[in-house]
Amino acid sequence: MEKEYTQEALQLLQALIRIPSVSRDEEKAADYMVAWMEGHGMRPRRHGNNLWLTDPDYDERRPTLMLNAHIDTVKPVSSWTRDPYGGELEGDRLYGLGSNDCGGGLVTLLQVYRHLITTARDYNLLYVVSAEEEVSGANGFSSVLPLLPHIDVALVGEPTGMQPAVAERGLMVLDVVSHGISGHAARGEGKNAIVAALKDLEWLSSYRFGKESELLGPTTMQVTVIHAGTQHNVVPDRCEMVVDVRTNERYTNEEVLSFIQNHVESEVKARSTRLQPSHIAADHPLVRRCVELGLKPFGSPTLSDQALMPFTSLKMGPGESARSHSADEYICISEISAAFELYLKLLETLNIER
């Protein structure tokens, strides 16, 4: 059984690699997955380029476990030495854009769903393919969430070396603007917005939030872009900064935003607060079962669709995060096979509470 499921997963992934599916352009890949599912007796539903399969024995009285992975990829970098859409097999490796992030998790979790719906369980299964994950797009997971049944916990198939990521950083991008008054530089007129911004720049660069995480470390702020001035002899009346904020699970994005706004003189606006940090409790049945299997929980610095999930979630999938978004990306066939087996050990005896 394992060999057959792995071979089918490999063939599906190879076909998907050969269909470009950069974020916001996943239609053809979604079409292929729909046809594949229907050809294997499944009845997928679709919203945009998001797909989902509901448990054929769905019972609203039972808790629901969602299996999730994304169909989109980043754009290929210029340093690829292979065809990013070639799907080349070389020994144990399958090369191609999206093979590792997160095609391996995508096809493996689909096969896990196909197997588990044939077994007796005390929970419902839901398999969700999300679009626009790489850009946290409005037409991705958040758009399909209102159409899904109630979800109690999710397993997200991002590449983690099949170790359980039990916490994940959130993200905010802040636009910080210091205001001044323009004037002639030679006359010393006006109020220099750059000088006015210096105090806030120092605070943003040096402040340390008090609540640190054992899994993720501190919440961090990095000033990454500064723009000011129009020409050498005009005192600038505006200084714009961009700040990258990575929140740990001990804060919400809204808490951090409010704190920053109250501690700087500049105007501060968040482009979005929707990409929240996430955390699953150490005593959750999924985490306990992972530990029983000898796996080691850790905190992940990288974002996934977990940031858009208003319910408990855990990230665990085949492949390695370091290969993501890199030239000559690949997934190992042995990783897919081992992941299928490990997922079944994790989920076949799982007892989820509502």
The amino acid that residue 34 corresponds to is V
Burial 136-165 (b: 16+ CB within 10 A, else e): bbebbbbbbbeebeebbbbbbbbbbbbebb
- Rg of the chain (C-alpha set): 23
Tokens of 268: 């501060």
Digit-by-digit pLDDT tens for the chain (354 residues) are: 678 989 999 999 999 999 999 999 999 999 999 999 999 999 999 999 999 999 999 999 999 999 999 999 999 999 999 999 999 999 999 999 999 999 999 999 999 999 999 999 999 999 999 999 999 999 999 999 999 999 999 999 999 999 999 999 999 999 999 999 999 999 888 999 999 999 999 999 999 999 999 999 999 999 999 999 999 999 999 999 999 999 999 999 999 999 999 999 999 999 999 999 999 999 999 999 999 999 999 999 889 999 999 999 999 999 999 999 999 999 999 999 999 999 999 999 888 877
Could you tell me whether strands 267-270 and 170-179 are parallel, antiparallel, or unpaired per DSSP bridges?
antiparallel
Contact (CB, 8 A) for 157 and 109 = yes
Distance, in Å, from the CA atom of 8 to the CA atom of 319, rounded to the nearest integer, reads 18
Distance, in Å, from the CA atom of 139 to the CA atom of 130, rounded to the nearest integer, reads 9
Q: Which residues contact 197 (CB under 8 A, 6 or more apart)?
A: 176, 178, 228, 239, 241, 266
| pLDDT score of 16 | 98
CA distances (Å), 315 to each of 119, 241, 263, in order?
24, 33, 34
Tokens of 295: 């796996």
Maximum C-alpha span of the chain:
82
Tokens of 329: 């990306």
Cis peptide before 290 (omega within 30 of 0): no
Give me the sign of the Cα torsion angle 184, 188, 189, 190: positive
The amino acid that residue 1 corresponds to is M
Distance, in Å, from the CA atom of 121 to the CA atom of 64, rounded to the nearest integer, reads 11
Distance, in Å, from the CA atom of 330 to the CA atom of 159, rounded to the nearest integer, reads 11
Contact (CB, 8 A) for 127 and 46 = no
| pLDDT score of 353 | 79
The amino acid that residue 26 corresponds to is E
Distance, in Å, from the CA atom of 122 to the CA atom of 62, rounded to the nearest integer, reads 7
| pLDDT score of 253 | 97
Please write down the HEC assignment for all residues of the chain: CHHHHHHHHHHHHHHHHCCCCECCCCHHHHHHHHHHHHHCCCCCEEECCEEEEECCCCCCCCCEEEEEEECCECCCCCCCCCCCCCCCEECCEEECCCHHHHHHHHHHHHHHHHHHCCCCCCCEEEEEEECCHHHCCCCCHHHHHHHCCCCCEEEECCCCCCCCEEEECEEEEEEEEEECECEEHHHCCCECHHHHHHHHHHHHHHCCCCCCECCCECCEEEEEEEEECCCCCEECCEEEEEEEEEECCCCCHHHHHHHHHCCCCCEEEECCCCCCCEECCCCCHHHHHHHHCCCCCEEECCCCHHHHCCCEEEECCCCCHHHCCCCCCEEEHHHHHHHHHHHHHHHCCCCCCC
